[in-house]
Amino acid sequence: MPHAAESTAFEQILDYLRQTRGFDFTSYKRTSLMRRVRRRMQIVEIGTFEAYLDHLQVHPDEFIPLFNTILINVSGFFRDPEVWDVVRTTVIPAIAPPDGGAPVRIWSAGCAGGQEAYTVAMLLAEALGVDGFRERVKIYATDVDEEGLVEARRAVFDEKQLEAVPSGFVDKYFDSSGDLHTVTRDVRRAVIFGRHDLIQDAPISRIDLLLCRNTLMYFNSEAQGRIMARFSFSVNPGGFLMLGRAEMLFSHATLFAALDLKRRLFRSVSKRHQPGRTLPGGDAREDSVAQDTHEARLREAAFDLSADPQIILDAAGTLIWVNAAARRVFGLTPIHLGAPLRDVEISYRPADLRSGFDRLREDRREITLNAVPWERAGGVRFFDVVFTPLLDDSRALLGARVAFVDVTALKNVQDELEQSKQELETAFEELQSTNEELETTNEELQSTVEELETTNEELQSTNEELETMNEELQSTNEELQTMNDELRNRSGDLNAANAFLESVFTSLQSAVVVLDPEFRILVWNVGATELWGVRPDEAERTSFFALDIGLPVKDLHQPIRDVLSGAAGQRQLKLAATSRRGKAITCQVTVVPLLGGDQQTKGVIVLMETGG
């Protein structure tokens, strides 16, 4: 039994589903609902209903697996074969005689994947022939699960799903393609799928056979009563209702009569109109003006001695007279006579007499307030408060008589009867609920077995994929190892080439600077460091013309451009400069192009030598 806080949190989840997704699960049995929701919570590893509500709000894609968990779509072709034998031998001959021409209307409520609807369609096609079936039969298959309806509309089933279908039916009513089988067009056209909520949506009318197997058991007793009333409206007089193995009609014998209890086949009871009640009107003669004093006193005495408390009001709502019982029960005295009703305590206790009197003046008919409680020190008494209009010969309103009929004893008997009835119904419902719970558990176990089989197949498939991926990874690893060896060899060659080039630049006595087309320094050798006092890490990757050295580099701007553009093969010039030690020198500068393998200019080489 869940504690109060847990129940409150669970109700919040149901309220959230109703507001955001339009699914109203409030009429479903709480124990079954909680069990299904907890199962989904275990899968997503959430421990409390509060945390799961947060999870739903953050992850909208969680709704689909939750609904698939709650709405157990367990169905199959020719499920419970003995039931379908009764349908074939008893129901179909009654609703669809071969020599008749009347349309045949079937409703499969809670159709899940559509197997039940297609099963009854095949039986009808066998009985009527394909042409008669196509002309006369309409089958309505409904469910609240949109995902299940999508699969049902596809009408495609595999070999395992068709195991219970007679082989002759498979060849006759399915088009096969490999391991998949599609319902034929003639059968499929007769079945109309649609979303329908048994609690909220209007029922389908004029039904000859209503199939609702293992669906009612998920609803509480109140919801089952409402659904059965709608089913009674839907099924034609003499029509048939087929329920599931765990479902009975203990409380609805007036709507459907048992035809075959073992197989849960019922027949609609003929609908008869109940005779209406005629409300008695008031006796205007009682309020006629007395012409004879003796007769008036007789009437007053008779009124005063009435066992039921009564008061008389005039047309304006003034208290004119009260009898002895009213004075005794409600404490009224002669001083209250002539007072407006609103100024007397009885106007609002035990009942609101003013609103009742207003309704009487407007409708001019008797009005009754049933079983109004009157709490006193001695206990609670119940009264039927009856407002009777007092009319003259021309039916003009003279006033009203308000009688308080003590129904305490009757109310107590009714309460005891109702309690006994409720206890009996509770016992029946507990028995039915236990049966339904067992059936639900069986459905869940079957669903679990199917899920485990599917999971096992998926794991097998995943294992094969992992083995394939492992082989591919081994092959890829070998290719990467080969590429790594090649890169290692190339890296060694490159390091050797760089070392050789570095030794060449180091061995040169001249200052050597290599520039790219953007005048950025690529090489700055030891000679350049010795001559100008700038280290390679300071010079490299900077603009040659941004250097602050003893050489007037701006005078080399045009020669370097000429060599880069190909206007000159090389340029030589002498420049007055200052070495890093501050000594004035003449610097012999030679600018030659840096050629690539394609003989295109990739930059320039600047050689700088001191002339003394």
Judged against a pLDDT cut of 50, whether residue 111 lies above it is answered with yes
Looking at residue 85, its pLDDT comes to 93
In a domain, 494, yes or no: yes
Looking at residue 294, its pLDDT comes to 55
Strand, helix or coil at 521? Answer: strand
Q: State the Cα–Cα distance between residues 167 and 334, nearest whole angstrom.
A: 93
Residues 512 and 494 in one domain: no
Residues 146 and 252 in one domain: yes
Judged against a pLDDT cut of 90, whether residue 188 lies above it is answered with yes
What mean pLDDT is predicted for residues 275-293?
A: 34
Model confidence at 123, pLDDT cuts 50, 70, 90, reads very high
What mean pLDDT is predicted for residues 163-178?
A: 91
Nearest alpha-carbon partner for 193 in 144, 262, 126, 129: 144
What mean pLDDT is predicted for residues 217-232?
A: 83
Cis status of the peptide bond prior to 350, with omega within 30 of 0: yes
Residues 259 and 174 in one domain: yes
Model confidence at 189, pLDDT cuts 50, 70, 90, reads very high
Q: State the Cα–Cα distance between residues 8 and 19, nearest whole angstrom.
A: 16
Model confidence at 290, pLDDT cuts 50, 70, 90, reads very low
Residue 428 or 119, more confident = 119
Nearest alpha-carbon partner for 236 in 206, 274, 278: 206
Query: If 0-12 CB within 10 Å is exposed, 13-18 middle and 19+ buried, where does residue 324 land?
Result: middle
Q: In the 8-state DSSP scheme, what is residue 177?
A: E
Do residues 289 and 299 lie in contact, with contact meaning Cβ atoms separated by under 8 Å? Answer: no
Element (H, E) at 589: strand 584-595
Looking at residue 252, its pLDDT comes to 61
What mean pLDDT is predicted for residues 240-263?
A: 77
Query: If 0-12 CB within 10 Å is exposed, 13-18 middle and 19+ buried, where does residue 405 land?
Result: middle
Residues 94 and 216 in one domain: yes
Do residues 392 and 315 lie in contact, with contact meaning Cβ atoms separated by under 8 Å? Answer: no
Model confidence at 280, pLDDT cuts 50, 70, 90, reads very low
Between 271-275, 457-461, 489-493, the lowest mean confidence (pLDDT) is in: 271-275
Nearest alpha-carbon partner for 252 in 428, 435, 108, 30: 428
Residues 253 and 296 in one domain: no
What mean pLDDT is predicted for residues 483-512?
A: 79
What are the tokens at 343? 């100024």
Judged against a pLDDT cut of 70, whether residue 275 lies above it is answered with no
CA–CA distance from 353 to each of 169, 289, 553 (Å)? 72, 25, 115
In a domain, 142, yes or no: yes
Q: In the 8-state DSSP scheme, what is residue 491?
A: H
Residues 333 and 481 in one domain: no
Number of domains comprising the chain: 5
Mean pLDDT across the chain, nearest whole number? 84
Residues 249 and 350 in one domain: no
Tell me which range, 69-78, 439-448, 585-594, is most confidently predicted by mean pLDDT. 585-594
Nearest alpha-carbon partner for 259 in 95, 99, 423: 95
Strand, helix or coil at 33? Answer: helix
Q: State the Cα–Cα distance between residues 107 and 110, nearest whole angstrom.
A: 10
Element (H, E) at 500: helix 408-507
What are the tokens at 166? 């007679």
In a domain, 279, yes or no: no
Residues 349 and 206 in one domain: no
Model confidence at 283, pLDDT cuts 50, 70, 90, reads very low
Q: State the Cα–Cα distance between residues 186 and 125, nearest whole angstrom.
A: 9
Tell me what percent of the residues of the chain surpass a pLDDT of 90: 22
Q: For residue range 372-396, list pLDDT tens digits in order.
A: 888 877 788 888 899 999 887 777 8
Locus of tokens 């370097």: 560
Q: State the Cα–Cα distance between residues 116 and 243, nearest whole angstrom.
A: 12
Strand, helix or coil at 578? Answer: strand
Residue 434 or 515, more confident = 515
Q: For residue range 235-249, list pLDDT tens digits in order.
A: 999 999 999 876 766
What are the tokens at 265? 């086949």
Nearest alpha-carbon partner for 140 in 198, 194, 76: 194
Judged against a pLDDT cut of 70, whether residue 299 lies above it is answered with no
In a domain, 276, yes or no: no
In a domain, 36, yes or no: yes
Contacts of 236 (CB under 8 A, 6+ apart): 206, 207, 208, 268
Answer whether 0.85 is exceeded by the pTM: no
Contacts of 374 (CB under 8 A, 6+ apart): 349, 350, 380, 381, 382, 383
Cβ neighbours of 180 (radius 10 Å): 14
Looking at residue 372, its pLDDT comes to 87
Classify strands 256-260 and 601-610 as parallel, antiparallel or unpaired: unpaired
Domain boundary among 386, 406, 426: 406
In a domain, 442, yes or no: yes
Q: For residue range 19-76, list pLDDT tens digits in order.
A: 887 777 777 777 878 888 888 899 888 888 889 889 888 888 888 788 777 776 667 8
Residues 61 and 96 in one domain: no
In a domain, 541, yes or no: yes
Across-strand partners of 212?
243
Q: Which amino acid is at 163?
A: E
The DSSP line for 35-52 is HHHHHHHHHTT--SHHHH
Nearest alpha-carbon partner for 320 in 332, 337, 306, 336: 337
Task: Give phi and psi for 531, each to the nearest 5.
Answer: -80, -40
Strand, helix or coil at 209? Answer: strand
CATH at 63: 1.10.155
Q: State the Cα–Cα distance between residues 489 and 233, nearest whole angstrom.
A: 89
What mean pLDDT is predicted for residues 589-604?
A: 87
Do residues 191 and 141 lie in contact, with contact meaning Cβ atoms separated by under 8 Å? Answer: yes
What mean pLDDT is predicted for residues 449-459?
A: 87
Domain boundary among 36, 70, 104: 70
CA–CA distance from 255 to each of 222, 224, 233, 251, 303 (Å)? 16, 13, 9, 9, 47
In a domain, 307, yes or no: yes
Locus of tokens 């008036």: 296
Between 146-160, 215-229, 361-375, 558-572, the lowest mean confidence (pLDDT) is in: 215-229
CATH at 117: 3.40.50.150
Residue 507 or 316, more confident = 316
Query: Would you give the end-to-end CA distance of the chain in angstroms?
Result: 107
Nearest alpha-carbon partner for 182 in 142, 208, 160, 153: 153
Across-strand partners of 265?
242, 260
Residues 191 and 138 in one domain: yes
Tell me which range, 105-119, 206-220, 321-335, is most confidently predicted by mean pLDDT. 105-119
Q: How many CA atoms lie within 13 A of 445 on its CB side?
A: 6
Residues 402 and 412 in one domain: no
Strands (E), 1-155: 104-109, 137-143
Model confidence at 612, pLDDT cuts 50, 70, 90, reads low
Looking at residue 240, its pLDDT comes to 95
Domain boundary among 234, 268, 302: 268
Judged against a pLDDT cut of 90, whether residue 90 lies above it is answered with yes
Residues 109 and 211 in one domain: yes
Judged against a pLDDT cut of 70, whether residue 300 lies above it is answered with no
What are the tokens at 306? 């009435």
What is the span of the domain harbouring residue 417?
407-500
Looking at residue 49, its pLDDT comes to 87
CATH at 313: 3.30.450.20
